[in-house]
Amino acid sequence: MARQTVADVLVDTLAARGVERIYGVSGDSLNGITDSIRRHGHLRWVHVRHEETAAFAAGAEAHLTGRLAVCAGSCGPGNLHLINGLYDCHRSRVPVVALAAQVPSSEIGSGYFQETHPEHLFAQCSHYCELVSQSEQMPRVLEIAMQTAVSRRGVAVVVLPGDVALREASQRLSRLQFPEPSPLVCPSDDELAALAKLLDGAARVTILGGAGCAGAHAELIELAGRLNAPVVHALRGKEFIEYDNPFDVGMTGLLGFSSGYHAMKSCDVLLMIGTDFPYQQFFPESATVVQIDVRGEQLGRRTKVDCGLVGDTKTTLRALLPRLQQHRDDTHLKAARAHYQHARKGLDELATGEPGRTGSHPQYVARVIDELAADDAIFACDVGTPTIWAARYLTMNGERRLLGSFTHGSMANALPQAIGAQASHSNRQVVALSGDGGLAMLLGDLLSLRQLRLPVKVVVFRNDALAFVELEMKATGILDFGTELENPDFARLAEAAGLLGLTAARPEQVRPMIAQALAHDGPALVEVLVHRQELAMPPSISLEQVTGFGIFMAKAVLSGRGDELIDLAKTNLFR
């Protein structure tokens, strides 16, 4: 039998678990792994230009498929570059294994070239992180890592010195042969009975759903109908809750609508399902709060909870529904839906093009993307204003998917996540809604689109600023500083990288340019000039924000920057 290395066992074990690709950047400490991939062809090495991109891409694949995804970094700096993307994977609760190469095993602890200690580096962004120092540990450590990532929904790290990867393997066969467990978690009969009694006695129930509602759309809609309850969603729940939902009243939170905010504030019972919605100021002050979550540690950590139940959404709702009476009074639902229709109309009125002007309203750009994109498109949106426009103007339909850094909040996530989405879903249309600041941060991976033959479509919202940061400064009365971006011509940069590059400088160019990019057989980038001073109003304005904005206006005038106020008025008030 041919000699088999530890790296060979690692690759075979990953392939046996259904892993199809590893995202990473090659390095000498990874040579054993990459050479095994080359020789055996079991996996695809997805060569990106930055390890942070590799981690984001793996996270996107794991989010979309629900299955294990893998990324890799060489020793030292390669490991460090993985960290931000892995934080996002971990906080988004997607199963990712990171292969962190290490310096030669005999040099560990000597301060060797590029030496770090991954066990410490990854401690806060992983459920499991272990060093393989002996060939006898493989494949068991890898199997434990895989099982941990899948079962706990997060990151696991295997640290492998380059010399150990090249040693002859002691064990050749993987030990995990069972299918992935799929347990059902449900509250007890007594807990369900108490919850049914509470809900049957309530006059105004509002449901707040999150990402934990994935796979339970039918049960959620039936519950809302039984209770005549408006359904508010958190951002991570948008793709699972918003579509085919006659009880939808929009989103709440900093990026949400006033209708979602008021539906929660006016209820007497708030039923939280599968959400860890973080913003305490949006919760009702006097309502009875019920929280259902498969993770017991999340119960009550955001707001006071009167009834907390541990259970997965689908199983729990199926057990609860037969116990509930049909609510007859729909006053609360009708009021919330009317408010939503009014709020939605206001948002739609902002998403218009004004021919002849330089620059477009970003709302209009997002609306055009929504109208032209495929019914099963996968969207990835950068943190900042692109996330606002995606949340408010992209329409989910049960087939479309939405990626973002919605919990970790990292810049530069859209392009890397689009890479992972397209690499794992070659037959789907993938669209990245990128900010000019986010795209520039990991700009090098535009080259990956061409090299990997990935037909990702990138729409750049160019406003030459870190616009969301500027809004935050204005809201607190601070003159914006350090947010200016002196950008290149992104379309010409894209052309130089081998992509189709297009520029939409005026509103009438937006639709034809985006349509051309979406129809292009290959990667494409559309640079859209958008208004820098576009306000993104939260669902509720605090006195502090009003005061802060007033202070900003006074400072702007006194410092000779009154032209900003004129631009702000032209963009927002005179529409």
Catalytic residues: 51, 113-114, 383, 468
Chain centroid offset of residue 226 CA = 31
CB 324 within 8 A of CB 470: no
My answer on whether omega of the bond before 183 falls inside 30° of 0, hence cis, is: no
Task: For residue 567, count other CB atoms closer than 10 A to its CB.
Answer: 13
Long-range contacts of 476-483 (CB under 8 A, 24+ apart): 476/544, 476/545, 476/548, 476/552, 477/547, 477/548, 477/549, 477/550, 477/551, 477/552, 477/555, 478/548, 478/552, 479/552, 479/555, 479/556, 479/559, 479/561
User: Residue 225: beta bridge partners?
Assistant: none
With tokens 């000779």, the residue in question is: 560
Give the DSSP letter of residue 460: E
Is residue 273 a contact partner of residue 213, using CB atoms and an 8 Å limit?
A: yes
Q: Comparing C-alpha atoms, which of 418, 415, 382 is closest to residue 61?
A: 418
CB 380 within 8 A of CB 410: no
Helices 414-424, 51-65: crossing angle, 10 deg rounding: 50
Residue with tokens 């064990």: 171
CB-CB contact of 239 with 399 (8 Å): no
| Phi, psi at 310, each rounded to 5° | -100, 120
Ramachandran quadrant class, 354 (left: phi over 0; alpha: psi -120 to 50; beta: rest): beta
Residue 97 has φ and ψ, to the nearest 5°, of: -105, 130
Q: What amino acid is encoded at 94 in this protein?
A: V
For residue 406, the surrounding DSSP H or E stretch is none
Indicate the pairing of strand 269-273 with strand 205-209: parallel
Residue 159 corresponds to which tokens in the numbers above?
């640290």
Q: Which amino acid type is present at position 161?
A: P
Contact between 284 and 264 under an 8 Å Cβ cutoff? The reply is yes
User: Cα–Cα distance between 141 and 131 in angstroms, integer?
Assistant: 8
Amino acid at 517: A
DSSP-assigned letter for residue 5 = B
Q: How far apart are CA 391 and CA 388, in angstroms?
A: 5
